[in-house]
Structure 1
Amino acid sequence: MRHTLREAWSGLRRNLTMTLAVIITMWVSLTLFGGGLLGAQQVELAKGNWYEKIEISVFMCGKVTQGRNCEPGQDVTDAQRQTIRTTLETNPEVATVYYESKAEAWEDFKRVYKDSPALGFMTADMMQDSFRVKLKNPEQYQGVVSAVAGLPGVQAVQDLRQYLNPLFEWLNVAKWATIGLSLWLLLAAALQIATTIRMAAFSRRRELGIMRLVGASNWYIMLPFLIESLVAALIGAILACGSLAAVQKFLIIDKAQPSLQSVEWIGWPHVGLAMLGVVAVGVVLSVVPTVIATRKYLRV
């Protein structure tokens, strides 16, 4: 074992420049990869948090509103309102139904737009009463929308998902773009490791030939090269984990959380999972190219 460690240390010193290049490439690529993992967890966390709060709003016809199910200048009738309520309450996908009257809508409007000039042009009679529908499964909303959208007295059905989905789609694009870029850099790191190992094997080709002649096994010959690549990869992985910890502390905890307290942010357990992924990928990317390179170039 002492001989193996000595050979690994010798190889790291002789190929110091290439080793540093591998460490830096692994550091950058694994940091991006870990950032992609953190981004994926943040998107799923935010998606689950917001989807749980999603409600469907069913707005009733009013004197100043227009819609294909509305009669011009007429409010929704009591019979139409009761039919809509019954349709919602008997739908198996609906958890709760809350009715908001015009008076309640007017009070909310005055609170939200208390400093807006628009408040002077609005009256309580111009408001719309509505039903707020909470779903049992936020992912299954289309059945409820289709059940009430065509009923007489329904002016519009609004689902917050139509506003949230484009946001989550862009976040997913950013997440996969980060992971894709990191994969290219990880490929570059793997190629650098393979090149470094081939150079090290070529510089020690006579010694390796003697070892083969005296009966040394392939694994005995591979082991110093595996240690070299593992050391470089683990240093890069440790630096990447430090970068992820810095992102969590200085960007998320110190900056993002105080600014956007309504958003549920990822915590240290999520960072820990990303770090485990970073270390695992780093080990795989160090071992696989080394095994391939040594099996091909050390058969002397």
Structure 2
Amino acid sequence: MRAKYVMSEVFLGLWRNISMTVAMIITMAVSLTMLGAGLLLYNQVDVIERYYQTNLEVVIYLDREITEEVTDQIHSDLRSNQYVAEVEFESKEKAWERFQETFSESEELIASVNSEVLPAAFRIKLKDIDNAPLLIEEYAGRDGVYQATNQREILDDVFNILGGAQKLTLIVALVQGVAALMLVANTIQVAAYSRRREVAIMKLVGAPNWFVQAPFVMEAVFAGIIGAIFAFGTLIAAKVFVIDGQFSNLFSLMPPVEWNSVILLLPILAGIAAVISAVTAWITLRFNIKV
């Protein structure tokens, strides 16, 4: 009976203050969408870093006029080097095929590049990528070597940009979250004031505080969970139409966003919304409303 009363009061309260309820749901949805995007980006940066840590290479580009004898000698030395786990020789023809495959979406770029410009190279996977500077120092000035590059250094700027995007998304989510909390508190105050007579009667007949407060707290929790569902729906749409649609060509360069990571956000966002809404409502009732 009590549970039935509480639930009826929850839905009645939400309907009485429908405009405030809608505003609370929308604000909560926006803040949770930003939080979900931040968490997804945070996780994806870690996935990308792990992916590249196992696939990063040192690339030694050779002079165009290098002799076969010098090439074989460098190849032999690399295979016996203490830092090297695997070495692959990439001819000019292979380099051109790789270039065409990597930039297959940019036909104009491919047409503007002369296949003879791309040099032969050794692509080297190290036992520990942290030893890349030592290997580069050893081979950078060697006869027949045009240039030696560490892919990790090239990608550091990318990771810095992604890290900045992580922080920006979480900061925006935090600001939106504060706005959502204020709106939840304000909505609960308005709801309690509109039902002050009912609250007074329940107190007179000896109803415990938790029973009086329960409908208000449940209203906030219900609105928060609805906002979390809308936020999750937005992230699903972003995954389908933006990530897998517009940015699908990037998956040749980095791992895709897995569905498991997106689906996991639903219980996380719903849990965060429920807890924050409940705590905010309880504090509001406990310290601001005399019930």
What's the TM-score bracket when you normalise by the shorter of the two chains?
0.7 to 0.9
Q: Distance in 2 between matches of 1:128 and 1:174?
A: 35
Are 1:248 and 2:239 matched, yes or no?
A: yes
**Amino acid paired to 1:22:** M
Match of 1:94 in 2: 84
In 2, Cα distance between equivalents of 1:242 and 1:277: 14
Could you tell me how far 1:7 is from its partner in structure 2? 2.4
Whether the 8 Å contact between 1:55 and 1:160 is mirrored in structure 2 is yes
Which residue in the other structure is 1:28 paired with?
Answer: 30
Q: SS of the counterpart of 1:169?
A: helix
Q: 1:98 and 1:28, CA in 2 relative to 1: closer, same or farther beyond 3 A?
A: same
Instruction: Give me the whole-angstrom Cα distance separating, in 2, the residues matched to 1:62 and 1:256.
Output: 36
* CA distance, structure 2, for counterparts of residue 229 and residue 31 of structure 1: 18
1:19 Cα offset (Å) = 0.8
The answer as to whether partners of 2:95 and 2:120 remain within 8 angstroms in 1 is no
Conserved in 2, the CA contact under 8 Å of 1:84 and 1:148? no
Q: Specify the SS of the correspondent of 2:255.
A: coil
Measure the CA separation in 1 of the matches of 2:158 and 2:237. Answer: 26
* Runs of 4+ displaced beyond 6 Å: 78-81, 150-153
- Provide the C-alpha distance between the structure 2 equivalents of 1:25 and 1:213, rounded to a whole number of angstroms: 36
Q: Which runs of 5+ in 2 are unaligned?
A: 101-109
Counterparts of 2:226 and 2:96, CA distance in 1: 59
Superposed CA deviations along residues 28-58 of structure 1, whole A, max 9, x for unmatched, are 1111221222222333333333343221123
Aligned to 2:194: 203
Kindly state the Cα deviation for residue 115 of structure 1 after the two structures are TM-superposed: 5.6
- Bigger Rg over Cα: 1
Which residue, out of 218, 223, 232, partners 1:227? Answer: 218
Contact 1:87 1:148 in 2 (8 A): no
Distance 1:8 1:299 in 2: 19
Match of 2:7 in 1: 5
Residue 48 of structure 1 corresponds to 50
Match of 2:247, SS state, is helix
Contact map agreement 2:189 2:289 (CA 8 A) in 1 = no
The verdict on how the C-alpha distance between 1:109 and 1:233 changes in structure 2, with shifts beyond 3 A counting, is closer
Superposed CA RMSD in Å reads 3.4
The SS at the match of 1:141 is helix
State how 1:260-279 maps to structure 2 within 5 Å: 260-262=250-252, 263-279=254-270
The answer to whether the aligner puts 1:19 opposite 2:10 as a matched pair is no
TM-score, length of structure 2 as denominator length: 0.78
Mark the CA change 1:3 to 1:140 in structure 2 (over 3 Å): closer, same or farther. farther
- Give the superposition deviation at 1:14: 2.2
2:161 counterpart residue number = 170
Change (3 A) 1:291 1:171: same
Between the aligned partners of 1:179 and 1:203, the Cα distance in structure 2 is 36
Matches within 5 A, 1:77-156: 86=77, 89-91=80-82, 93-99=83-89, 104-105=91-92, 107-108=93-94, 131-138=122-129, 141-146=132-137, 148-149=139-140, 156=147
Aligned-partner Cα distance in 2 for 1:117–1:269: 40
1:67 is matched with which residue?
A: none
| 1:54-93 CA distance string (max 9 Å, x none) | 2112346787xxxxxxxxxxx79x79985896477342x4
- How many positions carry a matched residue from both structures? 278
Structure 1 residue 292 corresponds to structure 2 residue 283: yes
The residue number in structure 1 matching 2:181 is 190
Determine the C-alpha separation between the residues in 2 that align with 1:168 and 1:256. 18
Rate the CA distance shift 1:150–1:109 in 2: closer, same or farther, 3 A. Answer: closer
CA–CA distance in structure 2, aligned partners of residues 169 and 94 of structure 1: 27
The answer to whether the Cα contact below 8 Å between 1:88 and 1:148 also exists between their aligned partners in 2 is no
TM-score computed with the length of structure 1 as normaliser: 0.76
More helix per residue: 1 or 2?
A: 2
Task: Name structure 1 gaps, 5 residues minimum.
Answer: 64-74
Distance 2:217 2:59 in 1: 61
CA 80–279 in structure 1, closer or farther in 2 if over 3 Å, else same: same
